[in-house]
Protein backbone atom coordinates (compact mmCIF):
# COMPACT_ATOMS: atom_id res chain seq x y z
CA UNK A 1 0.00 0.00 0.00
CA UNK A 2 1.32 3.45 -0.89
CA UNK A 3 1.08 5.96 1.91
CA UNK A 4 0.26 9.11 -0.04
CA UNK A 5 -0.14 11.29 3.02
CA UNK A 6 3.35 10.41 4.10
CA UNK A 7 4.79 11.36 0.67
CA UNK A 8 2.95 14.65 0.74
CA UNK A 9 4.12 15.32 4.29
CA UNK A 10 7.74 14.71 3.27
CA UNK A 11 7.51 17.55 0.80
CA UNK A 12 5.54 19.87 3.05
CA UNK A 13 7.60 19.29 6.19
CA UNK A 14 11.27 18.82 5.24
CA UNK A 15 12.46 19.08 8.86
CA UNK A 16 10.45 16.02 9.89
CA UNK A 17 12.34 12.71 10.06
CA UNK A 18 10.77 9.97 7.94
CA UNK A 19 13.87 7.80 7.55
CA UNK A 20 17.43 7.58 8.84
CA UNK A 21 20.55 8.67 6.96
CA UNK A 22 22.71 5.65 7.82
CA UNK A 23 22.69 2.00 6.79
CA UNK A 24 20.75 0.64 9.74
CA UNK A 25 17.06 -0.16 10.10
CA UNK A 26 15.38 1.63 12.99
CA UNK A 27 12.71 -0.32 14.85
CA UNK A 28 10.45 1.97 16.87
CA UNK A 29 7.84 1.00 19.47
CA UNK A 30 4.95 3.32 20.30
CA UNK A 31 2.42 3.59 23.16
CA UNK A 32 4.35 1.94 26.01
CA UNK A 33 5.37 1.22 28.59
CA UNK A 34 2.80 -1.61 28.64
CA UNK A 35 2.50 -4.12 31.50
CA UNK A 36 3.02 -7.21 29.31
CA UNK A 37 4.06 -6.17 25.79
CA UNK A 38 7.05 -4.03 26.82
CA UNK A 39 8.81 -6.85 28.69
CA UNK A 40 8.26 -9.20 25.75
CA UNK A 41 9.80 -6.65 23.36
CA UNK A 42 12.73 -5.90 25.68
CA UNK A 43 13.53 -9.62 26.03
CA UNK A 44 13.50 -10.15 22.26
CA UNK A 45 15.70 -7.10 21.63
CA UNK A 46 18.13 -8.39 24.27
CA UNK A 47 18.13 -11.84 22.69
CA UNK A 48 19.07 -10.38 19.32
CA UNK A 49 21.39 -7.85 20.95
CA UNK A 50 19.93 -4.85 19.19
CA UNK A 51 18.91 -1.34 20.19
CA UNK A 52 15.73 0.41 19.20
CA UNK A 53 13.62 3.45 20.05
CA UNK A 54 10.57 3.62 22.32
CA UNK A 55 8.10 6.49 22.02
CA UNK A 56 6.50 6.56 25.45
CA UNK A 57 3.14 7.95 26.52
CA UNK A 58 3.23 10.13 29.64
CA UNK A 59 0.17 8.44 31.10
CA UNK A 60 1.84 5.04 30.73
CA UNK A 61 5.11 6.26 32.26
CA UNK A 62 3.10 7.52 35.22
CA UNK A 63 1.46 4.09 35.64
CA UNK A 64 4.47 1.89 34.91
CA UNK A 65 7.60 3.83 35.92
CA UNK A 66 9.62 0.64 36.56
CA UNK A 67 9.12 -0.47 32.96
CA UNK A 68 10.14 2.95 31.67
CA UNK A 69 13.33 2.71 33.71
CA UNK A 70 13.97 -0.78 32.34
CA UNK A 71 13.80 0.51 28.75
CA UNK A 72 16.33 3.22 29.57
CA UNK A 73 18.57 0.79 31.51
CA UNK A 74 18.73 -1.51 28.47
CA UNK A 75 20.20 1.34 26.44
CA UNK A 76 17.31 2.04 24.10
CA UNK A 77 16.48 5.55 22.96
CA UNK A 78 13.43 7.07 24.64
CA UNK A 79 11.21 9.44 22.70
CA UNK A 80 8.01 11.28 23.61
CA UNK A 81 4.64 10.15 22.18
CA UNK A 82 2.48 12.74 24.04
CA UNK A 83 0.75 12.31 27.40
CA UNK A 84 -2.75 11.08 26.54
CA UNK A 85 -2.48 9.94 22.89
CA UNK A 86 -5.04 12.55 21.81
CA UNK A 87 -5.01 13.84 18.24
CA UNK A 88 -2.94 17.07 18.26
CA UNK A 89 -4.21 18.47 14.97
CA UNK A 90 -6.37 21.62 15.27
CA UNK A 91 -6.00 21.62 19.06
CA UNK A 92 -5.20 24.68 21.16
CA UNK A 93 -1.54 25.56 21.44
CA UNK A 94 -1.63 25.20 25.24
CA UNK A 95 -2.99 21.67 24.97
CA UNK A 96 -0.35 20.56 22.49
CA UNK A 97 2.46 22.15 24.46
CA UNK A 98 1.30 20.51 27.70
CA UNK A 99 1.03 17.10 26.05
CA UNK A 100 4.68 17.38 25.03
CA UNK A 101 6.22 19.11 28.07
CA UNK A 102 4.38 17.09 30.76
CA UNK A 103 5.64 13.89 29.15
CA UNK A 104 9.18 15.25 28.83
CA UNK A 105 9.15 16.04 32.55
CA UNK A 106 7.72 12.64 33.49
CA UNK A 107 10.33 10.84 31.41
CA UNK A 108 13.11 12.94 32.91
CA UNK A 109 11.90 12.39 36.49
CA UNK A 110 11.47 8.65 35.90
CA UNK A 111 14.41 7.73 33.66
CA UNK A 112 16.77 10.70 33.94
CA UNK A 113 16.61 11.13 30.17
CA UNK A 114 15.66 14.29 28.24
CA UNK A 115 13.74 13.14 25.14
CA UNK A 116 14.96 14.74 21.93
CA UNK A 117 12.45 12.99 19.67
CA UNK A 118 8.69 13.39 19.45
CA UNK A 119 6.27 11.19 17.55
CA UNK A 120 2.73 12.57 17.38
CA UNK A 121 -0.16 10.20 18.17
CA UNK A 122 -1.41 8.44 14.99
CA UNK A 123 1.43 10.21 13.16
CA UNK A 124 -0.91 13.19 12.72
CA UNK A 125 0.55 16.65 13.06
CA UNK A 126 0.23 20.18 11.70
CA UNK A 127 2.55 23.17 11.51
CA UNK A 128 1.59 24.25 15.03
CA UNK A 129 2.62 20.91 16.53
CA UNK A 130 5.85 20.96 14.54
CA UNK A 131 6.67 24.51 15.70
CA UNK A 132 6.04 23.63 19.34
CA UNK A 133 8.19 20.51 19.12
CA UNK A 134 11.03 22.40 17.43
CA UNK A 135 10.79 25.28 19.89
CA UNK A 136 11.54 22.68 22.58
CA UNK A 137 14.66 21.69 20.60
CA UNK A 138 13.16 18.34 19.72
CA UNK A 139 12.86 16.57 16.38
CA UNK A 140 9.53 15.31 15.06
CA UNK A 141 9.90 11.70 13.93
CA UNK A 142 7.45 9.94 11.63
CA UNK A 143 8.15 6.57 10.01
CA UNK A 144 8.77 5.05 6.58
CA UNK A 145 7.22 1.60 7.17
CA UNK A 146 4.06 0.90 9.16
CA UNK A 147 4.06 -2.72 10.37
CA UNK A 148 0.29 -2.55 11.04
CA UNK A 149 1.07 -4.88 13.94
CA UNK A 150 -1.99 -3.59 15.80
CA UNK A 151 -4.43 -4.95 13.20
CA UNK A 152 -6.14 -8.18 14.15
CA UNK A 153 -5.65 -9.58 10.65
CA UNK A 154 -1.89 -9.10 10.45
CA UNK A 155 -0.57 -12.43 9.18
CA UNK A 156 2.80 -14.01 8.53
CA UNK A 157 2.34 -13.03 4.86
CA UNK A 158 1.93 -9.35 5.80
CA UNK A 159 5.17 -9.52 7.74
CA UNK A 160 7.00 -11.16 4.84
CA UNK A 161 5.76 -8.39 2.52
CA UNK A 162 6.77 -5.77 5.03
CA UNK A 163 10.28 -7.22 5.33
CA UNK A 164 10.66 -6.91 1.56
CA UNK A 165 9.84 -3.21 1.62
CA UNK A 166 12.14 -2.30 4.50
CA UNK A 167 15.61 -1.08 3.55
CA UNK A 168 18.66 0.77 4.87
CA UNK A 169 17.53 3.81 6.85
CA UNK A 170 13.92 2.63 7.18
CA UNK A 171 12.06 3.65 10.30
CA UNK A 172 9.61 0.87 11.18
CA UNK A 173 6.51 1.59 13.25
CA UNK A 174 5.64 -1.09 15.83
CA UNK A 175 3.67 -0.99 19.08
CA UNK A 176 3.91 -2.27 22.62
CA UNK A 177 0.28 -1.85 23.61
CA UNK A 178 -2.94 -3.80 24.28
CA UNK A 179 -3.48 -4.62 20.59
CA UNK A 180 -0.05 -6.17 20.08
CA UNK A 181 0.60 -7.77 23.48
CA UNK A 182 -0.67 -11.17 22.28
CA UNK A 183 1.37 -11.34 19.08
CA UNK A 184 4.40 -9.05 19.23
CA UNK A 185 6.30 -12.04 20.67
CA UNK A 186 5.96 -13.86 17.33
CA UNK A 187 5.87 -10.92 14.88
CA UNK A 188 9.05 -9.28 16.14
CA UNK A 189 11.49 -12.24 15.97
CA UNK A 190 10.14 -13.14 12.50
CA UNK A 191 10.73 -9.59 11.34
CA UNK A 192 14.21 -9.30 12.86
CA UNK A 193 15.35 -12.66 11.42
CA UNK A 194 13.93 -11.78 8.00
CA UNK A 195 15.76 -8.46 7.94
CA UNK A 196 18.99 -10.02 9.20
CA UNK A 197 18.73 -12.62 6.42
CA UNK A 198 18.65 -9.72 3.97
CA UNK A 199 21.92 -8.48 5.48
CA UNK A 200 20.36 -5.51 7.26
CA UNK A 201 21.42 -4.37 10.71
CA UNK A 202 19.73 -2.28 13.35
CA UNK A 203 20.24 0.77 15.50
CA UNK A 204 18.28 3.12 17.70
CA UNK A 205 17.53 6.66 16.54
CA UNK A 206 19.83 9.25 18.09
ZN1 LIG B 1 0.52 5.67 19.32
Range of the domain at 153: 4-197
Query: Quick check: is 74 catalytic?
Result: no
CATH (domain of 110): 3.20.20.370
- Ion ligand 1, residue ranges at CB < 5 A: 30-31
For residue 126, what are the CA distances in angstroms to 71, 114, 119, 144, 185?
29, 23, 12, 18, 34
CA of 49 to the centre of ligand 1 (A): 25
Amino acid 3: pLDDT: 62
Query: Quick check: is 26 catalytic?
Result: no
Say whether pLDDT at 1 is over 70: no
Please give the tally of structural domains in the chain.
Answer: 1
Q: Within a domain: residue 203?
A: no
CA of 41 to the centre of ligand 1 (A): 16
CB 77 within 8 A of CB 48: no
Q: Within a domain: residue 206?
A: no
User: Residues 64-121: pLDDT tens digits?
Assistant: 999 999 999 999 999 999 999 999 999 999 999 999 999 999 999 999 999 999 999 9
* Percent with pLDDT over 90 in the chain: 86
The DSSP 8-state label assigned to residue 18 in this structure reads: S
Amino acid sequence: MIDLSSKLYRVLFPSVTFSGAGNAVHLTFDDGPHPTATSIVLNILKQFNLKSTFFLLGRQVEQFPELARLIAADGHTIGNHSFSHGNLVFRREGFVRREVTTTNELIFQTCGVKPKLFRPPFGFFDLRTLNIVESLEMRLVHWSNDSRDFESRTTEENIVNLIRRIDKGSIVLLHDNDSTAGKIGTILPTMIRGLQNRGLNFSSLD
